[in-house]
Structure 1
């Protein structure tokens, strides 16, 4: 698809995501085109294929992708994708970059009309380009027998390594192997650390490292028998942080530190929130049912719309003086069958963001029901109660009393709203 000349002249960017199962780690509902792996019985035999979704995207006007087809056989994937791209090429907005995404085509024409256009285009491609789409090969990775343990992972008396194994190591379906999630706080990693991670991949795995959409790195095909050695290397490199893809693993966009569109320092708030959770809410730090995502502006590069707790940056005047703020959204989920964006709850000054989040999480800790997910907790608790919990953190006294609360995180300079132009705004 990338080398197709037509794809070099689309109205604007076109994002494609794949997920290998219905847990949907690929986040297909927020992409122009999403493909979730599925198996369906056809004429008494199992056929591999995909559920195809189209028209998703975030930005200031977020939209969840809608189902094009509940099941597309794997051999039909390439002509289907080609048809979707051609319809976007034909109907996408070329006059206004802010409207030049597939989600706006779906919104303008309606999903039924867009579906009809795509399926008709696919039939035309089958007739005119027969033989141009190679069949999708079913490929299964295999490795030789894993290493036998040469020493056990030091769990006894070492709670941190036990926690790392519980949160950062995922056993693979292949017996004896695991994937190791290397947590990168704020997505940061040094050249030396990358070299060490590359050596782990080369010496213990299959030689590749994968970047995740959660700002971490995945090392696949790690032998269970070598986990103690791998952990020791990561400790030496200061890359053995536990809590990967848990509550404490706060993610953010670059924010105003480097982005032309950024209003607030989302990275500064992300660091502060992670430290606050470890320090004051340690029993919740490894909760896998709540994620915090932060954007430095409404454009959602930090994916705040799809987090249990999402925040995006802005500015507001308190007592005639401007201060950085965050709009706080709650209760998003991408779980199949109940996918939705977060609901706006309150706008809080940036320096009071950690206090507001702490108040919410303390309420969640005390009042959640057993096995209750955060989005269900938000629904059951209701917006009125949640806003009352957040209310004490929505205002500021005059800056003469608390000048530090008018500053952004990581800055000792007076806050000033300054933005430029950039690519992210749709």
Structure 2
């Protein structure tokens, strides 16, 4: 189990994995508080499942790219540590399930042999940086956003600014004004633009801030119509610093960026961002896209033999799954993956196929599919043949029948109803009764198992959200039907209206009513125009009868994909552990952060050192406040409360206020001189606070 310590070439990665292994042991020995251990493992991609004693592992794949070698590596790991099933998420990650906690360090080490990481795939961190799967091949793109998404991922991975924020933070890059990356529903979204400045074409981005889904969706604000490309990293870092400092930490349901922007007001938030710029390590951060662009080559694939002439199924597949590229003579092939689930035998054959006949990579998509890029046009029939052999040649890529759904009650702790079960039933209805919709890419169905919207149900034309409802004295599985959401392009979108609630087993009939009505009455209008014309009440009346709880039958008591009567089971506990002195735990963590700051100082990483020491001071102050039962809800609040309760009352003498000491972080440039002075001050204050705590305990 310890062999990774000598096999891994990257000492930073090796240290990460050893730390996870050590913390697992401490947790099992009852020496780490369960809540703190949860935070640590989530930031390492280890997520508790609905089923006791096993973990879901989220594999972070920036902008959805996976090479043939990486896909083989993921397959090997899934075969050895999991069940052999690979699940594509709506953030272009891969998840594997039913993994033993004890084996996660060696699993991670195996993945890293092909440069695949778990780091910050879950938890209150910068999550996977997503991008349009067509980036680099999109006929409508002004330039390829891939190197910018890649630079963003690399810059913020392990960055001390974003390791323990109040909540997760999501970013997306779209390839063009079609906004297929869905910028408007992210904490930060970027749409590429080109502007002529002094006679030169300059790359930049339209920037959107503060979007999100969940139970209270918010459309992001456009904060820049054009921000030059070398400014995006400093802008992101300043935004993250403000979110880290002022973001809510006590009330989890109010802790996302969208709530902070709403509470502070956009103008005040941006003013704080502007004030933070002096503290940043870079005022500009050029991204070498030219080298990346020039390195891109098209494959020289060999000729391939067909077993037989293509049939009618090929013609439909070609119509819906073969997409034009901006590179002449090449196409991309969209592979529809129902519910995002495929298996390692398929994955291994795919890896070989794209290595030989394409560009040795796949891009996973936001709709839980994948795209094979750079396929010579004459090889499309061969790809259909080979994909058909492994069960991945279904037509209707990105069509109405291509339904997005989160795992729901299959494995998620928060799932209320079966999203995968109802998705499978709706796909059956479309394939059997509405085959014409296999060609329709203007209608989208998305399903989530709860209000958190991992299936993005509230931005779909037709959305379903898992919930429960009362039928007499019995609680039954139900679906909230939402209508009228959609992506309008160029950073504009709309969220769906909640129309009515129905028993889950009536979901297929609801879809039939909606599609029949649309076909008979829309008179050529698109769905959103038709919805706006008729209005929410019209559709409520259309579906009202299905929501009548007095007419439920025994079949309604059982959720899709289940055989037993439904029971609400939300938030099942993850791992057992002894609850320790949380004050002592926080002080220990504070010292660990100061130690990281010392390490960064020795390596000449001045900005990182300053931020680690800053985080250490905040944790130490939080520990002392907790010892006095003083509650806090943000880092800024911790600083203010500490002064109010300890400095102003003369309990602790810092030679000034805590705020004055701590907030030097955004008053001075991150020079070597300041980094060393800030580190010395942080250690001095930590020692004072630790001594105060020890005296209080002894008293």
Shared fold per TM-score greater than 0.5: yes
Shift of 1:143: 2.7
Matched, 1:366 2:520: yes
Query: Are the structure 2 counterparts of residues 386 and 374 from structure 1 closer, same or farther at C-alpha, using a change threshold of 3 Å?
Result: same
Q: Give 1:145 deviation, angstroms.
A: 7.0
What is the distance in 1 between the residues matched to 2:495 and 2:273? 27
**In structure 2, what is the Cα distance between the partners aligned to 1:195 and 1:311?**
34
* Alignment pair present for 1:8 and 2:163: yes
Measured in 1, the distance between the counterparts of 2:317 and 2:309 equals: 10
> Are positions 1:203 and 2:360 aligned together?
no
Partners of 2:545 and 2:169 lie apart in 1 by: 42
Task: Report the Cα distance in structure 2 between the residues aligned to 1:71 and 1:51, rounded to whole angstroms.
Answer: 5
Q: Which moved more, 1:213-222 or 1:57-66?
A: 57-66
Aligned to 1:267: 420
Residue 183 (structure 1) aligns with? 336
Whether 1:356 aligns to 2:510 is: yes
Partner of 1:214, secondary structure, is: coil
* Pair 1:43 & 2:198 matched: yes
In the alignment of these two chains, the number of paired residues is: 416
2:500 is matched with 346
The aligned counterpart of 1:68 is 223
Aligned residue for 1:375? Answer: 528
Taking the aligned partners of 2:439 and 2:339, their CA distance within structure 1 comes to 17
- Cα distance in structure 1, aligned partners of 2:283 and 2:181: 30
Q: Give the superposition deviation at 1:336.
A: 2.7
Which structure shows the bigger proportion of residues in helix conformation?
A: 2
Cα pair 2:184 2:219 within 8 Å, conserved: yes
Write the mapping of 1:235-254 to structure 2, written as runs, cut at 5 A: 235-254=388-407
**Once superposed, what is the RMSD of the aligned Cα atoms?**
2.2
Contact 1:146 1:224 in 2 (8 A): no
**1:178 partner SS:** strand
Contact 2:298 2:374 in 1 (8 A): no
Q: Quick one: structure 1 residues 273 and 86, their matched pair in 2 at CA, closer, same or farther if it must change by over 3 Å?
A: same
Q: Within 1, Cα distance between the matches of 2:360 and 2:520? A: 45
Go from structure 1 to structure 2 and tell me whether the alpha carbon gap of 1:346 and 1:241 turns closer, same or farther (over 3 Å shift).
Answer: same
Name the SS of the counterpart of 2:289 in structure 1. Answer: coil
User: More deviation in 146-155 or 278-287?
Assistant: 146-155
SS state at 1:248 partner: coil
| Whole-angstrom CA distance in 2 between matches of 1:302 and 1:422 | 23
Distance 2:559 2:475 in 1: 11
Determine which of 112, 122, 137 is the counterpart of 2:289. Answer: 137
1:254-333 alignment, distance < 5 Å: 254-333=407-486
Q: Is the 8 A contact 1:152 1:225 kept in 2?
A: no
**Counterparts of 1:336 and 1:214 in 2: how far apart (Å)?**
17
CA distance in 2, matches of 1:63, 1:335: 15
Counterparts of 2:482 and 2:551 in 1: how far apart (Å)? 26
| Aligned-partner SS, 1:269 | helix
Q: Which has the higher Rg, Structure 1 or Structure 2?
A: 2
> Following TM superposition, by how much is the alpha carbon of 1:180 offset from its aligned partner in structure 2, in angstroms?
1.0
Deviation at 1:129, TM superposition (A): 3.5
Deviation (angstroms), 1:117:
2.1
Q: 1:81 aligns with which of 236, 239, 243?
A: 236
1:311-343 residue CA offsets vs partner (Å, 9 max, x unmatched): 101111123322111111101012136511001
| Aligned-partner Cα distance in 1 for 2:268–2:191 | 22
Contact 2:422 2:504 in 1 (8 A): yes
Offset from partner CA, 1:295-326 (integer Å, 9 cap, x none): 11111111001100011011111233221111
Q: Which moved more, 1:35-44 or 1:296-305?
A: 35-44
Match of 1:179, SS state, is strand
Q: Distance in 2 between matches of 1:352 and 1:409?
A: 10
Once residues 367 and 409 of structure 2 are traced to their aligned partners in structure 1, the CA distance between those partners, rounded to angstroms, is 20
SS at match of 1:279: helix
Counterpart of 2:272 in structure 1 is 117
User: Structure 2 vs 1, CA of residues 134 and 42 (structure 1 numbering), >3 Å: closer, same or farther?
Assistant: closer
- d(CA) in 1 for partners of 2:217, 2:523: 31
2 CA distance for matches of 1:82 and 1:267?
37
- Describe the SS at the equivalent of 2:163: helix
* Structure 1 SS opposite 2:512: helix
- Asked if 1:409 is matched to 2:564, the reply is no
Regions of 4+ moved over 4 Å: 144-156, 396-399
- TM-score of the superposition, structure 2-length normalised? 0.57
- Residues 130 and 343 of structure 1, relative CA distance in 2, 3 Å threshold: closer
**3-state SS of paired residue (1:209):** strand
Distance 2:363 2:283 in 1: 35
Question: 1:305, 1:342 within 8 Å by CA — same for their partners in 2?
Answer: yes
Q: Which moved more, 1:351-360 or 1:54-63?
A: 54-63
